[in-house]
Each structure stands twice: as C-alpha cells, then as structure tokens.
Amino acid sequence: MNLQKSLLIAIVLSLSGLVAWESYWRAKPEYYKASLEDDRYLWAKERAKVEIATKEDVIIIGSSRTGFNFNTHIWEAVQGVKPINLSTDGKPPGPFLEDIVYNTSFNGTIIVGVTSLMWFSSKDNPRWSDAKKWADHYHNQTYAQKLGYFISKPLQRNLVMLTSSELKFYNDLDLKSLINTIYFDIDGRPDYRFKLPNFSSHDEDRNLIMFPIMTANPDFAKQIQDVWNQFLPYLPDFDVVKDEIPAIINNYLIVINDFKARGGNIIFIEHYAEDEWNKHSNRMLPRKEVWDRFVAAANCPAYHFEDYEFMSKYTLPDWSHMNSEDAKSYTKDMVNQLIKDGHLTKKTN
C-alpha cells in the first residue's frame, strides 16, 4: 500500500512539474512556439515528394535565406503549383542538388536560392558534410526511425518544452542545451560558443517564419547581428580563396549540365542582404569574379538582387533574412517575374 501511495505521489509530482515547466515556456510566445523540429526527418518527408514529382513541379533548394524569403503558400497562390521545399537552415544546397540529379528522374524546375558563402563552398567544408548527412538519411532511414518520428510528431506539435534543433541554437530547450547554458554561466568559465538564438518557427511545409520580436525589438535582432559580426569581419579576402573557385564552379557545371540534358530547368536567385553583411561577403566573393562568372558558364536563368528593385527594397532585421510579411510580398513578386520571363508557367484549372 505504501509503495502504491509513493508511486501515485511520484506521478502527481512529475506531472505537476512538467505542467509547470511547459507553462513557464508557453508564457514566452515571442521566443517559443510548439512546432515540428525542422530536422532531417521532416526534410526527408518533403524529399519523398520528389519521387512522384512531374515535369510541371518545382523544387526549391537553398540555405536559410531561401527558407525565410520564399513562402510556398504564396507561391502556390500565384503560380498554381506548390513547390517542394527542400531549403535548409545553415546548410549549403549543393548536396541536395546532386541528390535530386543523380538519385531521381525528376526533370521539372529547380529553384536554387543562392547565398554566396553557402553556395560557393567546397565539398571539404563541414557544412557540406552536414547537408549530405540529411540526403543520406533519406535513403538510409530505418523503419524504427520512421516509427519514432511518427510517434514524436504529436508531442512536438503541442509541447513547447520540446523545442530543439540540430543547429543547436543558444535558446534550445532540450536537456543538453540547458545543461550547457548552466555550465557556461558558472563564473570563470569562458564561453566561446556562437550565442545564436533561434529566431523563427516553421510550418509543416518547412517555411521559416521569423518571430515578430525581430522587428518589434531591435535589441533582440542585435543579438543575431552580433553573432554575424563574430565571423563576418574575419572572412578571407578573394585572393585567398580565388584558386578554389574554378573547381567549385566546374563541379556544379557537371551536375547542372547532366540535369539540363534530361530536360530539367534550373533557375538561380541571389538573395538580398544588407550592406553590413555584403561588405564582407563581397570582399571574399566579389560578384564579377564569382557570381557573374558562374552564371555565364552555367547558362541558366539567373536573378541577382542588385538588378531588380523588388528584390532589394526590404529592410532585413538581422541583415540576412526577411520577416514573414515581407517574404510574402517578395515571393509574389519573384514568382510573377519568373512567369513574365517565361521560366515558370502559371497553372490554370
């Protein structure tokens, strides 16, 4: 009887603790929102759609700017086609382009959102390896992994305290992140981490949606800007990396030409960033020597924010990504431009 009573008390205390913990984080809706973690499992779910995609379909790949700047719901409303969203936060899209070209028969349209620091990176970059792991996971995931993800989805959708990410944002709520925060808060322990807080949520189509606090509170946005300033000024000059660029471009040309040979179309879109970001990335990867050279060799439709007023008219809270309302307007304008130029076809019922 005493054991039963102890067990009941333990259960009540545990549930009370969890409710209190969840309530605490729910009281901070400007920083946290219950949603599926945008991990390799959710990406794989979207990637599976490529297997049945047709010539009329559109696939979007790119890094975080593409995830923030393109809204697939608006895209569908304008074109009549809902893109397959394979953009990834913090990862170069090169491995995903290779995966689509060499592991599927897809011959529709691929939209490549370009962030120069990500796109023009070599295969020995650790971020390239991280991206390839996601592509490999899609092909190698086990039934146990699929079942575990299926079971976890209802919990992730409804519990803020499960907020976490593979990118290890500074304000993640998983146990490891919390322990690390406590560890480095102890006096005398130097903390060399990039303290990048998560500043977005996402829907189940993997659209990245910037938290409203980014525009409402400049002090919060400055936390992200400060992280960018921890590495941007230290990017190497072009003279240091210029010998790597020809090989990077040539590797892409092989993949692009193989895709075009089977009837596929690729469109490149260089997203806007504020001068505080561009002055450093342009020092490393100047447009004339890198983007212009690549576009001329690839012989694909290409759009650079410097050439279109509608692409560069926005104010980016963190210098690099659009807020959710601007993303809707940007998506609408971009899709209409692509339709006008004959690179996309508006679907009519």
CATH code for the domain in which residue 330 is found? 3.40.50.1110
> Within this chain, do residues 35 and 141 fall inside the same structural domain, yes or no?
yes
Within a domain: 346: no
pLDDT, tens only, 39-80: 889 999 999 999 999 999 999 999 999 999 999 999 999 999
- The pLDDT, as a whole number, for residue 168 is 72
Domain that holds residue 17: 1-28
Within a domain: 348: no
How many angstroms separate the CA atoms of 160 and 168, rounded? 16
Total structural domains in the chain? 2
Higher pLDDT, 247 or 192: 247
- The pLDDT, as a whole number, for residue 91 is 93
Within a domain: 349: no
pLDDT, tens only, 105-140: 999 999 999 999 999 998 989 899 999 999 999 999
265 φ/ψ angles, rounded to the nearest 5 degrees: -120, 140
Instruction: Note whether 214 and 322 are within 8 A (CB).
Output: no
> Within this chain, do residues 3 and 94 fall inside the same structural domain, yes or no?
no
- The pLDDT, as a whole number, for residue 220 is 92
> Within this chain, do residues 51 and 6 fall inside the same structural domain, yes or no?
no
- Give the distance from CA 74 to its chain's centroid: 18
- The pLDDT, as a whole number, for residue 187 is 60
Q: Is the pLDDT of residue 185 over 90?
A: no
The pLDDT of 16-40, averaged and rounded, is 78
- The pLDDT, as a whole number, for residue 146 is 83
> Within this chain, do residues 238 and 268 fall inside the same structural domain, yes or no?
yes
Query: Could you tell me the pTM of the whole model?
Result: 0.89
- What b/e readout covers 100-135, taking b as 16+ CB neighbours within 10 angstroms? bbeeeebbbbbbbbbbbbbbbbeeeeebbebbbebb
> Within this chain, do residues 291 and 180 fall inside the same structural domain, yes or no?
yes
> Within this chain, do residues 78 and 12 fall inside the same structural domain, yes or no?
no
Q: How many CA within 13 A on the CB side of residue 266?
A: 25
Instruction: Note whether 94 and 119 are within 8 A (CB).
Output: yes
> Within this chain, do residues 22 and 36 fall inside the same structural domain, yes or no?
no
> Within this chain, do residues 244 and 305 fall inside the same structural domain, yes or no?
yes
Within a domain: 345: no
> Within this chain, do residues 10 and 47 fall inside the same structural domain, yes or no?
no
Q: Is the pLDDT of residue 192 over 60?
A: no
- Give the distance from CA 250 to its chain's centroid: 25
- The pLDDT, as a whole number, for residue 183 is 59
- The pLDDT, as a whole number, for residue 193 is 60
CA torsion through residues 330, 331, 335, 338, sign: positive
